[in-house]
Homo-oligomer: A and B are copies of this chain.
Amino acid sequence: MSTIRDVAIKAGVHPSTVSRVFSGNAKISQETQTRVLDAAQKLDFHPNAIARSLSVKRTCTIAIVIPHIYSGYFDDEFFPQVVQGLLNFAYPRGYRILVGGSNSHSDEIVQTFDILGSRQADGIVVLSNRLDVDTVGAMREQDTPFVLLGRPPAHYHDVSWVDADNERYTYEAINYLIGLGHKRIAYVGGDPEVAVTSERQRGYASAMSQAQLPQNPRWIEYGYFSDEGGYYAVQRMTELGDEAPTAYYAANDLMAFGILRGLREKGVGVPEQVSVIGTNDSGACLHVTPTLTTLRVPYAQMAAQAAELLIQAIEEESTACAQRFVDCELMIRESTGPCPA
């Protein structure tokens, strides 16, 4: 592998000159330029990105560490959409994505700080699902830019984040069911440890109480974002007899598919007898029967905005923080209908 020095020798110039023709920003005479390029060509020279990074203190890389908490991160298209969104924004601007692994929640934090501390990336987007105040506080103490996907636990004003207003949109989804005449509505949340679970539950509760509907604790189940979780919720709730829900709201599509499966097995018609709403709008919503009404959460867009904030922070070296909400949309399809009399 040839270096800038080899090229310089072959071209009969100083290494700094070679550097200048490759970095682009500097006036170089037409003649030396071609001489250098020629030499580089012949030696198959490619600038070493690591050496450049060390010198300019920029890697043109943004990082993300993947939680291995539940496989739903992959099953439910959450992670792919995030990577896609990051790439959509970052790639055209010359950035690449560094993906780190983790094998537990605490390891996830360790890995995040490792990337932050070692400067292997210029910035990092972190999934703030389970971050506590301490963690966020510690991130603020260091000086590599970061942006959260999801709000921090306490409402720091000097932290950047992008989030959906989960409470509000779940409220609207429940309201839609109420508008269809449903009165007994189930809430199937994800992992109760994850912020989004309680956010959505608040939306559910406020829609119910605003409509002055009775709330039954047995209508609430945590399905941990898995298909089985949804399926199990149906087993539990159909036992309630007269008190069984006529509609289910699930905090992700996977659980909604499990609900659909559970209802089908019990011979319950959807949407004639029971309505089902999922969350995310994953591709499979259109492939199931009936097609699934779902609350679309634009993860790719969230990630793209996170990348935007991050790259802004990196390049402008501003310490200004920004908070952004993205819009969700209720995709009404076949799995919801009027409450039967």
Whether A91 lies near B84 (C-beta < 8 A) is: no
Interface residues of A in 247-277 (CB under 8 A from B): 254, 257, 260-261, 264
State whether the Cβ of A283 lies closer than 8 Å to any Cβ in chain B: yes
Which chain B residues lie closer than 8 Å to A80 at the CB level? 74, 77, 79-80
What 1/0 mask marks residues of chain A from 76 to 111 whose CB sits below 8 Å from any chain B CB? Answer: 010111011001101110001111111100000000
Nearest CB in chain B to that of A90: its residue:
B101
Whether B118 lies near A99 (C-beta < 8 A) is: no
Task: List residues of A whose CB falls within 8 A of some B CB.
Answer: 1, 44, 46-51, 53-54, 59, 61, 66, 74-75, 77, 79-81, 83-84, 87-88, 90-92, 96-103, 114, 117-120, 141-143, 227, 254, 257, 260-261, 264, 283-284, 286-289
Which chain B residues lie closer than 8 Å to A260 at the CB level? 287
- Overall SS of chain A's interface: helix
Whether A288 lies near B286 (C-beta < 8 A) is: no
Nearest CB in chain B to that of A65: its residue:
B96
Q: How far is the CA of A61 from the CA of B50 in the complex (A)?
A: 12
Q: How far is the CA of A120 from the CA of B58 in the complex (A)?
A: 13
The 10 closest A-B pairs by CB, nearest first: A91-B101, A46-B117, A49-B118, A284-B284, A257-B287, A97-B99, A80-B80, A49-B120, A87-B101, A96-B100
Which chain B residues lie closer than 8 Å to A48 at the CB level? 54, 118-119
Query: What are 7 sample pairs from A and B whose C-beta atoms fall under 8 A apart?
Result: A48-B118, A50-B118, A50-B120, A74-B81, A83-B83, A99-B99, A254-B283
Select which of B83, B117, B142, B289 is within 8 A of A99 by beta carbon.
Answer: B83
- A28 → B minimal CB distance (Å): 21
Q: How far is the CA of A225 from the CA of B91 in the complex (A)?
A: 24
Which chain B residues lie closer than 8 Å to A61 at the CB level? 98
Select which of B66, B77, B102, B287 is within 8 A of A287 by beta carbon.
Answer: B287
**Known pairs A50-B120, A96-B99, A96-B101. 17 more at Cβ < 8 A?**
A1-B119, A46-B117, A46-B118, A46-B119, A49-B119, A49-B120, A50-B53, A74-B77, A74-B84, A79-B83, A83-B83, A90-B101, A91-B101, A96-B100, A254-B283, A284-B284, A289-B289
